[in-house]
Amino acid sequence: MTVSPPDIPLEIIYRDDVMVAINKPSGLLVHRTALDRHETEFAVQRLRDQIGQRVWPVHRLDRGTSGVLVFALDAVSAHALADQFAQHTPDKRYLALVRGHPAEAGVIDHPLRRVIDAIDPRTAREGAEPVEVQPALTRYRRLATVELPVMVDRYPSSRYALVEALPLTGRTHQIRRHMNHIAHPVIGDSTHGKGVHNRYFASAWGVSRLMLACIYMQLRHPVSGAAITLQCDPGDAFGRLADAFGWNPLPK
């Protein structure tokens, strides 16, 4: 897991009087949770200290996922932005490195059960109400492939692909769970992925992060209603592998 040291400023990709967006590094929690009480570094705290004013997180990004993360700078704007995410109206695009060669394009329509660690831990007690299953929809397209002459699992060579994923709903770990559902798990995913491939990338390529990054988002400005486009680089790990596998330039 990688995260920028606290003395290195977070990369701000957009800022005005009512909202700010950063390129969140992999490994950084958005905010404190009941299951991460021991952690001391959070995007909310670091950004607040960096810009010298309170910030309101308006959506989530998994700890291991890097990329576009949006905050409001006042409570009214926070409500307006959070409402957009609740209605799944922002256009979000992710890059993912996955095991295998998926179809050139597809739609994964697979309902997902709510993740226990994403809700109040008290609801996980014995005798609690069953955790509901929610509709979940992800569109994806394959951008590039590679086949390496290395026996990582049970085959003499190993296949990997670069995928663009567009979540049309906002379920917890949706892209990770959906890619695993179609047997193409995201590299570096210790929860929904495959350990042997994660270990291979850590040892052979020095890549131990979750290979998932939100590189593009378009939403409505909370005051003017104008379309705001937010973009960022997927990170050094993606860049190194793209160089090695001949996948440059990476999509923006």
- The set of catalytic residues is 62
Burial of 200 (0-12, 13-18, 19+ CB in 10 A): buried
Which run of H or of E encompasses 113? strand 112-113
User: What CA–CA distance (Å, rounded) separates 124 from 109?
Assistant: 26
Peptide bond into 90 cis (omega under 30): no
Q: Report the C-alpha gap between 95 and 99 in whole angstroms.
A: 13
**b/e for 138-171, b at 16 or more Cβ within 10 A?**
bebebebbbeeeeebeeeeebbbbbbbbbbbebb
Measured between its terminal Cα atoms, the distance across the chain in Å is 24
Residue type, 220: R
Q: 3-state DSSP helix/strand/coil percent for the chain, to nearest 5?
A: 25, 30, 45
